[in-house]
Amino acid sequence: MSEQHEQTAAGGTLYVVPTPIGNLSDLSPRALRILGSVDVIAAEDTRTTGAMLAQFGVRARMTALHEHNEEQVVGTLLARLAEGQSVALVSDAGTPLISDPGYRLVGAVRAADLPVIALPGPCAAVAALSASGLPSDAFSFFGFPPPKPAARREWLSAHRHWPHTIVLYESSHRITGLASDIAQSLEPERTVALAREISKRYEQHWRGAAPDMSDWLSADTDRQRGEFVIMIAPGPPRDPQQHIDDLLRPLLRELEPSRAARVVAAALGERRNTVYRRALALADDADAPPASE
């Protein structure tokens, strides 16, 4: 575990280079060597990256690559790589492509069969998960949840039975909204965790029951500032009978029981007859007059 083979960037290679998410010392010596030796750095914001590199006394040639121009600059960068130049891709903070630009560039470089090397490094999602104590054997990173409350609650309800730890990013503008939607959409005993300002002066990690996150945030308005990662423990397994009913009910408003049963049986890999019997029972219940008082 002591290799230090590449002293400078190799020609024709795209390097995906993570940068600090709050603490400059997290820029690895290897990242610094690559950033200091590539022919060009494709940066989400050239001023942000320029300022960071200046702290290390590095001056580099840069070009902007952000969500609004990625499509256009991919061609130019591909041509440079094909000519044998080396390129580093960086975002403002953390690992490029993780809720950050770069996916189109890396896709195009791989499609052109040119080498892509990813340097391991800072990523808020991984740092937060690794300190959360929530199951980490399998997890799902979904980036930012829907910004509007109604869509966000719908999203949370749709993922109530998600079998792995959910990792989400959130900004300070929406953190209290997300916390209150989590309290409304998940069972009260669900464990959730929050990591705030990772690697910065006021870093905090909190973990507790879903309804308590809002209280923790409102206990001190300073806790609502900065950058957040929210994690949700895996959901309880879905009751198979309940799952069938949940799918059948809306379908029975539009379809005959036999057709609704066929759709649900195919979707869930269940026996058609079993689902059909249940569809008939639900359809009967729906037709029955309300019980008299």
User: Which one, of 222, 224, 226, 188, lies nearest residue 208 by Cα?
Assistant: 188
**Region from 112-120, 182-190, 227-235, 267-275 binding ligand SAM, contact rule CB under 6 A:** 227-235
Q: Which of 229, 251, 264, 279 binds ligand SAM (CB under 6 A)?
A: 229
Strands 14-16 and 116-118 come out as: parallel
Residue 73 Cβ, how far from ligand SAM at the closest point, in Å? 19
29: its two tokens? 């010596």
Residue 136 Cβ, how far from ligand SAM at the closest point, in Å? 16
What phi-psi label fits residue 22: left (phi over 0), alpha (psi between -120 and 50 degrees) or beta? Answer: left
Check residue 44 for interaction with ligand SAM (CB under 6 A).
no
13: its two tokens? 């290679």
Check residue 99 for interaction with ligand SAM (CB under 6 A).
yes
Q: Which of 15, 139, 228, 276 binds ligand SAM (CB under 6 A)?
A: 228
Residues 176-195 that bind ligand SAM (CB under 6 A): 195
Q: Residue type at 283?
A: A
Residue 202 Cβ, how far from ligand SAM at the closest point, in Å? 10
DSSP state of 147: S
Which phi and psi (to 5°) does residue 68 adopt? -90, -15
Q: Which of 9, 16, 60, 93 binds ligand SAM (CB under 6 A)?
A: 93
In angstroms, rounded to a whole number, what is the distance separating the alpha carbons of residues 42 and 88? 6
In angstroms, rounded to a whole number, what is the distance separating the alpha carbons of residues 191 and 240? 23
CA 129-102-56 angle, to 5 degrees, is: 75
Residue 194 Cβ, how far from ligand SAM at the closest point, in Å? 9
Residue 140 Cβ, how far from ligand SAM at the closest point, in Å? 15
Check residue 227 for interaction with ligand SAM (CB under 6 A).
yes
Number of residues lying near ligand SAM (CB under 6 A) = 24
Strands 14-16 and 227-232 come out as: unpaired
Residue 178 Cβ, how far from ligand SAM at the closest point, in Å? 10
Q: Which of 171, 242, 258, 273 binds ligand SAM (CB under 6 A)?
A: 171
Residues 3-42 that bind ligand SAM (CB under 6 A): 21-22
Alpha helices in 137-271 (DSSP H): 149-158, 175-185, 212-218, 240-252, 257-268
Task: Catalog residues that contact ligand SAM under the rule CB under 6 A.
Answer: 21-22, 91, 93-95, 98-100, 123-125, 169-171, 195-200, 227-229
